[in-house]
Amino acid sequence: MKQIFPVFLLLILAIGCNEEERPMNTRNEINPIVKELQTKYAPDKRTAIFSVAVTEKKGSVTLKGEVDDPAAKDELMARFGAQSGKVIDSVDVLPSQDLGEKTWGIITVSVANMRSDPKESAELGSQVLMGSIVKVWKKKSGFAYVQSPDHYLGWVDTDQLHRVTKKEAKAWDGAQKIFVKGLLDVVHEQPDENSYPVCDLVGGDVLKRIAAKGPWIAVELADGRKGYVKQSIVIDAAEWGKSLRPVPENIERTGKFLMGVPYLWGGTSVKGVDCSGFTKTVFLLNGVMLNRDANQQADQGVPVEPGTKFANLKKGDLLFFGKKAGGGRPERIVHVGIYLGNQVYIHSSGKVQVSSFDPASPIFNEYNLDRFVRARRVIPDAPKVKEVAVQ
């Protein structure tokens, strides 16, 4: 799984400048200030915004860019002012003023793609599911820059979300909703399987509950579209994390129901998954929200010493692959899977598949055995991701 989500730069330096306007020398005493504050306010560029360019012009310093925390800008200006004297302020504090009061959004498609840039050809970084409330930071070229419930940042097509005010977001958050536990289905126009679809659904989607009608439930999407879903494929959203729990057997069952789903870089839904998107989806459908990327998931749960032939591991433990720390280099986690017992694990690599650590097994994967790093146990006490709150 990728380790860097390329939306923000740690430090942006101007290029192509004349003698009167030139980039700050990287050894100049000012530049470490930007690095220090970026580390303080946005240590992970995938989940926080701090993008600042620094230039000198005729004895003054110009700061240009954007941050998501007013305190970050205040400290930035204070530090540069104390160091340099004259400072020209061109740093915006998001959300962008042109959004007005509609600085929140609710996803209105089964799976919304989050891209690295505001264009369809840009890299897919992650996905966010129907009914999720997202923070909207800015908009450009028909895209909105949003932050998903697991704090991931990316550009979403504005046709795939309904922008709302804080009050409207809170109303949606407080409404009675249903959680889709089935893997793939549709919202029907009528309480009849032969009626046309309003939209498709994937496991993890959330809809507003209107009323029950026999084996059907009348539902509403955030953009006002209405229809019906089968009661058998949903649960009350309030029961997520209660009736849906990460029981090891259920983790295995959910994972195996995704067998053969194609690998998709950035995918976090049953339509396509990368390695951490697979583990995230499996646990989401069992009442636990994991972090987005493999190296982020490697911080959840508790460490488990595998033991000889992985004898200490239990079904449902997360396995992490990459390179161990050593030789002055830090640990690097690039892949994750779910342990199933007897040296067998399930993961997304090319497609969702089962592999083994046992050299005698016909599904032995020597490459992954060689790059196995460590394991974490997230059952039963997985620390839940604190979702982006509407406040």
Given 151, 162, 188, 335, which residue is catalytic? 335
Q: C-alpha angle with apex 96: 92 to 97, nearest 5 degrees?
A: 105
CA distance 364 to 352: 15
Catalytic site residue 17?
no
The rounded Cα 293 to chain-centroid distance in angstroms is 7
Tokens of 325: 């720390």
Yes or no: say if 363 and 342 are a contact pair by the CB < 8 Å rule.
Answer: no
Contacts 24+ apart (CB under 8 A), 39-42: 40/72, 41/67, 41/69, 41/71, 41/72, 42/8, 42/67, 42/68, 42/72
Under a CB-based contact definition with an 8 Å cutoff, are residues 2 and 44 in contact? no
Task: Point out the catalytic residue in the list 151, 162, 188, 347.
Answer: 347
Q: Which of 151, 162, 188, 275 is catalytic?
A: 275
Rg (CA), the chain: 23
To the query of whether residue 335 is one of the catalytic residues in this protein, the response is yes
For residues 146 and 105, is the Cβ–Cβ distance under 8 A? Answer: yes
Strands 272-273 and 87-93: unpaired
Decide if 162 is catalytic: no
Just list the catalytic residues: 275, 335, 347
